[in-house]
């Protein structure tokens, strides 16, 4: 008699070192989809300035990693801040949460937890960096940028439909909400890769 035990499902691999999660807000005030993007403008002004600095420091990081094989913690900290701030401003503008994001500038990789229901966890690689992939990073990321271009068009349509759904029902349609969150999750991984926080190539996935 064959006593071989069937193999169980494979265990999931380790999570990508840049994650984004949003808790379901439940009922949402029906006016919010049409106003929150305006209320988010101060955050996007701050984000514009942070983005300029982030791109400059990414260029500096590129040279530093190529010459030393290491990413200084100070440079990683700024990119942690930029990725997290991007997600918080986007989450609010996309009316996924009602709480207004704080104007905080934490440089740590673990999410400090000061924006309820929104978590961006980052795992920057400081030592033993892959100089080859870093050297060609701006080319390697292009397929993801192309995908994100079309995904953001679809996400904009989902936001319009979601806004009217909330106007009439007070809640997000679950499928549309998960899609919008998935696009931001994809962008989070691409940002971490593009800004040289990690060397692992991002998956082409909304999960």
Q: Is the pLDDT of residue 81 over 90?
A: yes
pLDDT tens for 137-151 read 999 999 999 999 999
Q: How many domains does the chain have?
A: 1
Q: What is the pLDDT of residue 14?
A: 66
Output the CA torsion 78→201→159→95 (10° steps).
-40
Residue 39 within any structural domain of the chain: yes
Q: Is the pLDDT of residue 76 over 60?
A: yes
Band of pLDDT at residue 46, cut at 50, 70 and 90: very high
Compute the radius of gyration of the chain from its Cα atoms: 19
Q: What is the pLDDT of residue 15?
A: 86
User: What are φ and ψ of residue 101, in 5° steps?
Assistant: -65, 145
pTM surpassing 0.85? yes
Residue 10 within any structural domain of the chain: no
Q: Is the pLDDT of residue 8 over 60?
A: no
Residue 148 within any structural domain of the chain: yes
* Domain housing 134: 18-194
The secondary structure element, H or E, covering residue 19 is: strand 18-22
Q: Which residues in 43-195 belong to E strands, given as ranges?
A: 118-122
């Amino acid at each position: 008699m064959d006593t071989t035990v069937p193999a169980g499902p494979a265990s999931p691999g380790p999570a990508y070192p840049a994650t984004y999660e949003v808790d379901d807000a439940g009922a949402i005030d029906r006016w919010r989809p049409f106003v929150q993007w305006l209320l988010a403008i101060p955050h996007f002004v701050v984000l514009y300035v942070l983005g300029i600095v982030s791109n400059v420091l990414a260029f500096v990081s590129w040279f530093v990693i190529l010459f030393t094989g290491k990413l200084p913690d100070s440079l990683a900290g700024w990119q942690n801040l930029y990725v997290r701030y991007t997600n918080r401003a986007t989450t609010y503008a996309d009316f996924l949460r009602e709480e207004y994001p704080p104007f905080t500038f934490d440089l740590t990789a673990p999410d400090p937890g000061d924006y309820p229901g929104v978590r961006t966890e980052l795992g920057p690689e400081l030592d033993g960096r892959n100089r080859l992939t870093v050297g060609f990073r701006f080319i390697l990321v292009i397929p993801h940028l192309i995908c994100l271009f079309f995904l953001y068009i679809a996400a904009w349509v989902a936001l319009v439909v979601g806004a009217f759904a909330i106007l009439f029902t007070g809640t997000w349609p679950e499928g549309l909400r998960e899609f919008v969150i998935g696009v931001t999750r994809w962008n989070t991984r691409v940002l971490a890769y593009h800004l040289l926080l990690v060397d692992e190539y991002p998956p082409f996935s909304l999960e």
